[in-house]
Amino acid sequence: MTNNKGKYLSVGIDIGADFSVMAIALPSQELIGKPYRIFHNSQRSLDGAIDRIFSLMNQYGLPARVFMESTGIYHFPVYHKMKEAGLDAYILNPLVTHASKDINVRNIHNDKFDAQKIALLGLRPDLKTSIVPSDDVAAVKAILREYYAMKKETSMYICRLKDQLRQVFPQFIPIFSKVNGVAALAVLYEYLTPDSILAAGVDGLESFMKTAVTKGPLNIHEKAEALVEAARDAKNFGHGNVGIFYLTRHYIEMIRLLDAQTKQLMEQVKRLLKEQKNSQLSKQVRLLQSIPGIGFLSAVTLVCEIGDFSAFKRPKQLFAYFGLDPAVKQSGNFNGADLKMSKRGSPYARRCIYVLAIQSVSLRVDGTPKNPVLRSYYEEKCKSKSKMTALGAVMHKVCNIIYAVLRDERPFVLIAPEEHRAAYFSAKPEAA
């Protein structure tokens, strides 16, 4: 009698946009039959793939495990279809499959051979699979990804707007704190050229800004005088044509449109979390917001990018998951100062950690540190390390804090190192 304990059929699926290719391997690494094409728009094709898996499970008396690469969005329907059928399905990071050079398949890149490679890779006992987020996390994560994409697009249009102004009206840029602010865009859209600003005069500009800008102190009279002076200077420096002025208005319209749409996306995120206020997602977001410097956006981004926190047993695992771990390339001339982040993880989470570290070591307007503990730690590191290396160490600390808050499921409390040591020795007096 054959001992099949721990053995399984490995099903590899190479995911495509419109169809996927499935290959199946025995525990002996023998591939079974020909690769099977799964058409995503055909229920019959999807059911046929599942029937084939179950048929081979019965034939060989073995369970099956299904493996597929993470492809952004295309793998989700196939993955969930396999899970609904009662099959064990797993997602692989593309870095894992690309790094597997010793798989017994010819070095050919097409759907058939890629599916076979994944199937053989699935037989490895040390194979690491990716975390699949819950549906509520996946929904919020998808909206956030679009939010960040639109923010990036907004920044692109702001840069284009500044480039146009540098040609025709460079004096305009320093007058407002932000060229994409409500007041700046309103004035620029209404008075597109230096000539139109001169024609309006100080009184006309004042009157317009009082109507157009309803929030915050703007020093309207001073702004109007500065605009008129800038317009006079632009007569001596600057050159424009009809096309440039048209594009300026176009860029303003795009910035306004994207700003409105990103606000809508953020409102939807807030609405989803409010509807799920008792969910693990909402609880973790509230916990992270207890950490100084972490606002709503950073908190929800980090929770969504982390996904299933239970998969992380140590802080270092979370650190590596964010791509903050060092990428070491061994060399005869190795220098520890040359260490750089691997940047293999989520760029969204990594940026959140970076911004949080910057905020943690920065000073308030009155000169006091926002986080005295991390500021002191940063300054101590700077004595022997470069500022970027010291900041990297702070990012590591921040990651540890996030891990501890989510692990203990308790809000953050700022405790000085001396208090930490006192608490440790009181709990373990033999260590004193």
**Which CATH number characterizes residue 255's domain?**
1.10.287.4070
125 and 164, same domain (yes or no): no
287 and 264, same domain (yes or no): no
Instruction: For residues 164-178, give the mean pLDDT.
Output: 88
State the amino acid at position 245 in one-letter form.
F
Residue-wise pLDDT tens digits, 220-275: 899 999 999 999 888 766 556 677 888 999 999 999 999 999 999 999 999 999 99
Instruction: Flag whether 55 is in a domain.
Output: yes
Instruction: Flag whether 235 is in a domain.
Output: yes
Q: Is the pLDDT of residue 421 over 80?
A: no
Instruction: Flag whether 327 is in a domain.
Output: yes
Confidence class for position 11, pLDDT limits 50, 70, 90: very high
273 vs 286: CA distance, rounded Å: 10
261 and 355, same domain (yes or no): no
| Residues 116/25, Cβ–Cβ less than 8 Å | yes
Of the listed ranges 138-147, 215-224, 288-297, 304-313, the least confidently predicted one is 215-224
Roughly what angle, to the nearest 10 degrees, separates helices 280-288 and 387-408?
Answer: 140
Residue 107 or residue 225, greater confidence: 225
Instruction: Flag whether 226 is in a domain.
Output: yes
- The per-residue pLDDT for 54 is 96
Its pTM stands at: 0.76
108 and 186, same domain (yes or no): no
282 and 420, same domain (yes or no): yes
Task: Out of 240, 268, 296, pick the residue that ends a domain.
Answer: 268
What domain range is 233 assigned to? 138-268
Overall number of domains in the chain: 3
Task: Out of 108, 130, 152, pick the residue that ends a domain.
Answer: 130
Instruction: Flag whether 364 is in a domain.
Output: yes
207 and 169, same domain (yes or no): yes
294 and 410, same domain (yes or no): yes
123 and 180, same domain (yes or no): no
Instruction: Flag whether 1 is in a domain.
Output: no
Q: Is the pLDDT of residue 328 over 50?
A: no
Tell me the sheet residues that pair with 66: 11, 89
Instruction: Flag whether 2 is in a domain.
Output: no
153 vs 160: CA distance, rounded Å: 11
Instruction: For residues 78-97, give the mean pLDDT.
Output: 85
Q: Where do runs of H (alpha helix) occur along 169-193?
A: 182-190
- The per-residue pLDDT for 212 is 83
Residue 129 or residue 137, greater confidence: 137
- The per-residue pLDDT for 240 is 61
State the amino acid at position 274 in one-letter form.
K
Confidence class for position 4, pLDDT limits 50, 70, 90: low
Q: How would you class 120 by CB atoms within 10 Å of its CB: exposed for 0-12, middle for 13-18, buried for 19 or more?
A: buried
Q: Is the pLDDT of residue 169 over 50?
A: yes
Average pLDDT along the chain: 84
264 and 284, same domain (yes or no): no
106 and 159, same domain (yes or no): no
Q: Is the pLDDT of residue 326 over 90?
A: no
Instruction: For residues 311-337, give the mean pLDDT.
Output: 67
Q: Is the pLDDT of residue 62 over 90?
A: yes
- The per-residue pLDDT for 418 is 61
- The per-residue pLDDT for 391 is 92
192 and 48, same domain (yes or no): no
In degrees rounded to 5, what are phi and psi of residue 152?
-65, -40
Instruction: Flag whether 3 is in a domain.
Output: no
Instruction: For residues 79-83, give the mean pLDDT.
Output: 90
Task: Out of 268, 302, 325, pick the residue that ends a domain.
Answer: 268
264 and 286, same domain (yes or no): no
| Residues 191/230, Cβ–Cβ less than 8 Å | no
353 vs 319: CA distance, rounded Å: 10
Q: What is the CATH number of the domain that holds 64?
A: 3.30.420.40
Q: Is the pLDDT of residue 353 over 80?
A: yes
